[in-house]
Chains A and B, each alone.
Chain A
Amino acid sequence: MNRADALADGFPDLSGHRIAREAHWGRWLAAALIVIILIAIGRAFARGQIEWSYVERFLTAPVILRGIVNTMIMAVMAMALGIALGVIVAIMRLSPNPVLKSVAGGYTWLFRGTPLILQLLLWFNLALVFPTIGIPGLWSARAVDVMTPFLAALLGLGINQGAYTSEVMRAGLLSVDIGQYEAAQAIGMSRLQALRRIILPQAMRVVIPPLGNEFIGLVKATSLASVIQYPEVLHSAENIYYANSRVIELLIVAGLWYLLVVSILTPLQMLLERRFARGIARGGR
């Protein structure tokens, strides 16, 4: 049908019309409201009783810097422990052996089912249950000496993290096609070899986004270790404000550090994701 026909059959010719821009009054109103609220909050803080000079001064104070380093050490080590436990427990859960399976299920149930802060306090006060710990005849020590804030925090955070990580890992292992196990077996691989070379690298692709999420959660959860005297960044900030009473200023300092660490972690996660997405999806490399 050509243009002359279109006009001839009674319909108007629209070919020269442009589409008018819509007004979107609602959107304009909402945006204006939000900007006004943000300005009000900003003004409130600027006029509020916050001595920003303290924030600036303590942001790079040696105690705070040591605190953030301790936070990172604890987060990385607890995550490593959590991943190791998580992989083992996930494999146990998928085992046909009923004992392994139920022990793994029980572990997840127990450590996911109780608050993290309670677990930290339990580990830290383990000496009340077992005054001495060790291997009979080989080695023993007083529990108060062994269960330092560092060890209690590591065990508490790592074992708790393992319970969550195991579920993430289980989902990852289940996402790999059964044909991949069979192909690995067919070229003579043992179960462990197949897991390490074929299954886990493919599971990692599925597992990294939720693990990144878990790690960010863990970085902030280390702040709970302040209750058992582990000198992480929140604990350091608290110690300072006990002395100088600049509570809000030091909490802002700690908050800024957490934000900075989490902001650095996000692009790192993207790099890892790209590494494990080799060969998958939109055309590989």
Chain B
Amino acid sequence: MKPLVAIRQLSKRFGEFQALKQVSLDVFESEVVCLIGQSGSGKTTLLRCVNQLTTADSGGIWLDGELLGFREHDGRLHRLSEREIARQRLACGMVFQRFNLFPHMTALENIIEGPVQVQKRAALDAKDEAMALLRRVGLADKAQSYPSQLSGGQQQRVAIARALAMKPRLVLFDEPTSALDPELVGEVLAVMKELATSGMTMLVVTHELGFAREVADRVVYMDQGVIVESGPAKEVLRAPREARTKAFLAAEVG
């Protein structure tokens, strides 16, 4: 089976800091992959490369067989136009740590902004679908609320609905619960769990080891820009093989 996302020998350096070193990873259709590791381990950079918010220095990412960000021609890589990159981005939804809802728009307007403005879908259809998505994340009664009137957990659920409205092939989550008060984490994880059950392909950077254990098909542990260990959630989290993984898990649990 061909992977939906194929990451090959990806490297990225920020000045002196090597964020990613020759990272390769596959994500298959309907798979939930959790990226864990300390801050600075490169997991967020890897995620942002998939959505081309960060451009890697070398290596490549293929989504459904299509190389992201570049066109290969005569043994050289040519940067794609902004329009092409925008089109490729439609295939992945992105959920940010700090939600990044548009504060001047209501929850409903946030969700239909992409479908109407970018995908040029009819406003009425987009609205119906947006309402269905709001029901799905349990916020049908908040359609007319502005982000400032919502709790952090509610904002993040709207942000998930906004990502889903584009009908993406996969959804990227960048530490979706790290900015939330502890009592609000559960409602967001519940929505993500439901999404995983529905068969959505998900790549999740997270510190929630409980969520990873319960929902992830595969857990990838990163440290200092490399993938140290990767495998089924139960194996990596319960019986890690690498010493670094063991140390990280012991520190997280302890």
A interface, CB within 8 angstroms of B: 177, 179-180, 182-191, 193, 197-198, 201-202, 205, 276, 278-281, 283-285
| CB-nearest residue of chain A to B166 | A187
The 8 A-B residue pairs with the shortest CB-CB distance in the complex, in nearest-first order: A279-B146, A187-B114, A183-B100, A186-B94, A284-B146, A179-B100, A188-B118, A188-B90
**A residues in contact with B178, CB < 8 Å:** none
Task: Give the distance to chain B from A50, nearest Cβ to Cβ, in Å.
Answer: 51
**A residues in contact with B100, CB < 8 Å:** 177, 179-180, 182-183
| CB-nearest residue of chain B to A176 | B103
Task: Give the distance to chain B from A200, nearest Cβ to Cβ, in Å.
Answer: 10
Judge if B70 is at the interface, Cβ distance under 8 Å: no
Task: Give the distance to chain A from B180, nearest Cβ to Cβ, in Å.
Answer: 16
A202 CA to B148 CA in the complex, in Å?
Answer: 14
Selected contact of A186 from candidates B53, B103, B147, CB within 8 Å = B53
Query: Is B117 a contact partner of A189 (Cβ separation < 8 A)?
Result: yes
Query: Is B93 a contact partner of A186 (Cβ separation < 8 A)?
Result: yes
Query: Is A191 a contact partner of B147 (Cβ separation < 8 A)?
Result: no
Using known A-B contacts A197-B117, A280-B148, determine if residue A190 contacts B86 with beta carbons closer than 8 Å. yes
**B residues in contact with A188, CB < 8 Å:** 86-87, 89-90, 114, 118-119, 166
B interface, CB within 8 angstroms of A: 51, 53, 82-83, 86-87, 89-90, 92-94, 96, 98, 100-106, 113-114, 117-119, 145-149, 162-163, 166
Query: Is B149 a contact partner of A197 (Cβ separation < 8 A)?
Result: no
A18 CA to B145 CA in the complex, in Å?
Answer: 48
**B residues in contact with A197, CB < 8 Å:** 113, 117
Query: Is B96 a contact partner of A182 (Cβ separation < 8 A)?
Result: yes
Query: Is B148 a contact partner of A279 (Cβ separation < 8 A)?
Result: yes
Query: Is A280 a contact partner of B103 (Cβ separation < 8 A)?
Result: yes
**B residues in contact with A279, CB < 8 Å:** 103-106, 146-148
| CB-nearest residue of chain B to A198 | B102
**A residues in contact with B162, CB < 8 Å:** 187
Query: Is B98 a contact partner of A191 (Cβ separation < 8 A)?
Result: no
Binding site secondary structure of chain A:
helix
Query: Is A183 a contact partner of B82 (Cβ separation < 8 A)?
Result: no
A183-B96, A281-B148 known; 5 other A-B pairs, CB under 8 Å?
A: A179-B98, A182-B94, A186-B163, A193-B118, A280-B146
**A residues in contact with B146, CB < 8 Å:** 278-280, 284-285
Query: Is A186 a contact partner of B113 (Cβ separation < 8 A)?
Result: no
Task: Give the distance to chain A from B10, nearest Cβ to Cβ, in Å.
Answer: 19
Q: What are 25 residue pairs bridging A and B, where the CB atoms are less than 8 Å apart in the complex?
A: A177-B100, A182-B94, A183-B101, A185-B89, A186-B51, A186-B93, A187-B90, A188-B89, A188-B118, A189-B114, A190-B83, A190-B86, A197-B113, A201-B104, A202-B102, A202-B103, A202-B104, A276-B104, A278-B104, A279-B105, A279-B106, A279-B148, A280-B103, A283-B148, A283-B149
| CB-nearest residue of chain B to A187 | B114
Task: Give the distance to chain B from A25, nearest Cβ to Cβ, in Å.
Answer: 48
| CB-nearest residue of chain A to B119 | A188
**A residues in contact with B119, CB < 8 Å:** 188
Task: Give the distance to chain B from A186, nearest Cβ to Cβ, in Å.
Answer: 4
| CB-nearest residue of chain B to A278 | B104
**A residues in contact with B87, CB < 8 Å:** 188
Query: Is B96 a contact partner of A179 (Cβ separation < 8 A)?
Result: yes
Query: Is A182 a contact partner of B53 (Cβ separation < 8 A)?
Result: yes
Task: Give the distance to chain B from A199, nearest Cβ to Cβ, in Å.
Answer: 10
A186 CA to B51 CA in the complex, in Å?
Answer: 7
A190 CA to B82 CA in the complex, in Å?
Answer: 7
Query: Is B148 a contact partner of A284 (Cβ separation < 8 A)?
Result: yes
Task: Give the distance to chain B from A285, nearest Cβ to Cβ, in Å.
Answer: 7
Selected contact of B117 from candidates A193, A205, A285, CB within 8 Å = A193
